[in-house]
Structure 1
Amino acid sequence: MAVTDAGQDTGVDFRTRLQNWLPKIVLAPSFAVMVIFVYGFIAFTVYLSFTDSRMLPSYEWVGWQNYDRLFRVREWDIAVKNLAIFASLYIVICTLIGLMLAIFLDQKIRGEGILRPIFLYPMALSFIVTGTAWKWFLDPAIGLENTMHLWGWESFTFNWIKDREMAIYTIVIAAVWQSSGFVMAMFLAGLRGIDNEILKAAQMDGASNWNLYRRIILPQLRPAFLSAFVILSHLAIKSYDLVIALTGGGPGNATALPATFMYSYTFTRNQMGIGASSAVIMLMTIAAIMVPYLYAELREKK
C-alpha cells in the first residue's frame, strides 16, 4: 500500500511539474527568437554606431565619431526640424479631432453603429495605401486641383505636395486622416467608462455641460490622453512608409524625417555607422517617452 501511495505521489508530482513547465517549453522558441531578432539586433545596431561601418559592418572602433558627424550633417538637421513640425501638429490635431468625435458619438446619436466603423476604417489601411491614395488626391495634375479646374474653378490651386515649404503639411494631413479614428476609439472607451452616477450628481447640483466636461469628464480621461500621446509619438518618430509613399522625402529633402534619413544613409549612401547612430537616437527618443509612461503605469497599479 505504501509503495502504491508513493507511486501515485510520484505520478502527481511529475504531472504537476509538467503542467508548470509546459507553457515555458512552448513559449521558449518564440522568446528566443524575440531576444535574438529584436533585442539582439538592437544591441548590434548600437555597437555598429560606434564602428567605422560603411557598406558592410566593420568592427573598427571609432567611439563617438559617428554621432559627431551625424549632428554636423545638414540633412539630419532638416529631418529633425521636419519631425518637430510633423509630430507636434500630428499629435495635437489627432487628439483634438479624436476627442471631438468621441464626445459626438457619446451623445447616443442615431446611427452610431454606422459612423463608428467609418471613422475607424482608415486605421485598417496600411500607411503605404494611405500615402499612395493621398499622393493621387493631392497631385495637381490628377487630383483635387485638376478636378476643380474641370468643374470650372480655374483659379483654384492646391499644390502643397510640390511646394518645399508646404509639403510637410501634406504628411500631417494624411497621417491625421488615418489615426484620428483610432484616437477617437480610445477616448470613447474612456467616456463610456465614467460612472454615470457622478455625472448625474453634478447635473443635479446645477453644473453646466461646459463645467461638466472641464471639471469631471476631461480629468478622468487623463489615461486616454496619456495613451494617445505615447502611441502617436511613437508613430510619428518611426514614420517611414507614409513619407515614402506620399512624397518620397521630397521635394528635395523637404519632407525627410529621421526614419527616411536612417534608411538613406544606411542602404543608399553606404554610411552604415551614421545610419546606425541615427537609429540609436530615434530609439533613445522613443525610450524617453515610453519609459516614464511604463513607470507611471506600474507605479499606479502598485
Structure 2
Amino acid sequence: MATAIDAVRASARDTGFRDTLQRWLPKLVLAPTALCALVFIYGYIGWTALLSMTNSKMLPSYTFVGFDQYVRLFENERWLVAAKNLVLFGGLFIGVCLLVGVLLAVLLDQKIRSEGALRAIYLYPMALSFIVTGTAWKWILDPGLGLQKLGQELGWSSFRFDWITDPDRAVYTLVIAAVWQSSGFVMALFLAGLRGVDPSIVKAAQLDGASLPRIYWRIVLPCLRPVVFSAVMILSHIAIKSFDLVMALTGGGPGYSSDLPATFMYAHTFTRGQMGLGSASAMLMLGAVLAIIVPYLYSELRGKR
C-alpha cells in the first residue's frame, strides 16, 4: 500500500515539474533576446536622450545643460537644411513610390504574360543595398560619365542633366535613386493585397457597367487601406533613417545641400566631436518615427476594440 502511495506522489511530482518546465521554458528561451533588446535598444535610447541634455563633446560628459543642445540644433543652418530636405525627400519618395507601386501592381494583376519575370525585374532593385544603388546612380548621373555624356555623344550637344552637381537639385537625385530601389517593394505589397480582394466584387461591378479604372479607384483600392498604411509607415521609416544612400550618391553635397538628418547626426557626432548636438538630432529623428508609428498603432488598436 505504501509503495503505491509513494508511486502516485512521485508521479504527481514529475507531472508538476513538467508543467512548471513547460510554463517557464519559453520564457527562459526568450530571456536572452529580451535582455539584449532591453540593453542594446532601449538602454541606448535612454543613454542617447541623457547625452542630448549634456555638454558632451568628443567623449561623454554628464554636465547637465537642459535643452541647450536642442536650442543650438534649431539655430544651426545645416540642421535646418537637413530638416527641409527630409520633408522634400520624404514627401516625394513616399508619394512617387506609392504611385509607381500601385500602377505596377494593377498592371501585374491583369494576369499578363511573363508576370513572374516582370515581378522579379521590378523586385530586383530591392535586393541591392543602398550603397550599391547610390554608387550605380552616381555613375549614371555623373555629367562627365553618365546620361549627360551619353546624350551629347548621340548628337544632343545642348543636353544637360547635371542635377547631382547642382545644389538646388541634388536632393532630387536622392529621390530618383530611392524610388528606383523601393517602388518594387511597394508593388509587391499592393499586389499581395489585390490578390486578396474577393473577385466576385469586381465581377459584380463589371456587370453594373463600371469601367476597370473606376473599379480599382472606387472599390478595390479602398479595400487596401491596411496595405497603404503599412507601405507609408515602412517608406517613412526608410526616409527618416536614410544615410548610406546619401553618403554613396552625393555625400551630402554639393556643400551640405543634400544633407539629411541621419548624415547631419553622423557628421556632428563622429567627425566634429559634438556628441551632445548629435544626440539631440538623433532624438528628434526618433521623435519623427514615433510621430508616424504611434497614431497608426492607436488607430489599429482602436479599430480592434
Of 52, 71, 74, 2:74 maps to 71
Q: Are residues 1:38 and 2:41 paired?
A: yes
User: d(CA) in 2 for partners of 1:34 and 1:241?
Assistant: 24
The Cα shift of 1:34 comes to: 1.2
Residue deviations 1:168-202, cap 9 Å, x none? 10000000000000000111011111011111122
Aligned residue runs from structure 1 range 110-259, under 5 A: 110-259=113-262
Aligned residue runs from structure 1 range 241-280, under 5 A: 241-280=244-283
The count of aligned residue pairs is 302
Unmatched runs of 5 consecutive residues or more in structure 1: none
Q: Residue 101 of structure 2 corresponds to which residue in structure 1?
A: 98
The Cα shift of 1:234 comes to: 0.8
Percent identity between the aligned chains? Answer: 59
Amino acid paired to 1:70: L
Q: Are residues 1:5 and 2:8 paired?
A: yes
The Cα shift of 1:17 comes to: 1.4
User: d(CA) in 2 for partners of 1:292 and 1:191?
Assistant: 25
RMSD: 1.1
User: d(CA) in 1 for partners of 2:301 and 2:12?
Assistant: 40
Amino acid paired to 2:89: F
SS in structure 2 opposite 1:252?
coil
Q: Residue 22 of structure 2 corresponds to which residue in structure 1?
A: 19
Q: Which moved more, 1:141-150 or 1:224-233?
A: 141-150
The Cα shift of 1:45 comes to: 0.2
User: d(CA) in 2 for partners of 1:251 and 1:293?
Assistant: 36
SS in structure 1 opposite 2:294?
helix
Amino acid paired to 1:220: C
User: d(CA) in 1 for partners of 2:198 and 2:34?
Assistant: 40
Residue deviations 1:136-190, cap 9 Å, x none? 1111111111222333332221111001111110000000000000000111011
TM-score, normalising length from structure 1? Answer: 0.97
The Cα shift of 1:301 comes to: 3.4
Unmatched runs of 5 consecutive residues or more in structure 2: none
SS in structure 2 opposite 1:221?
helix
Of 29, 36, 55, 1:52 maps to 55
User: d(CA) in 1 for partners of 2:104 and 2:117?
Assistant: 13
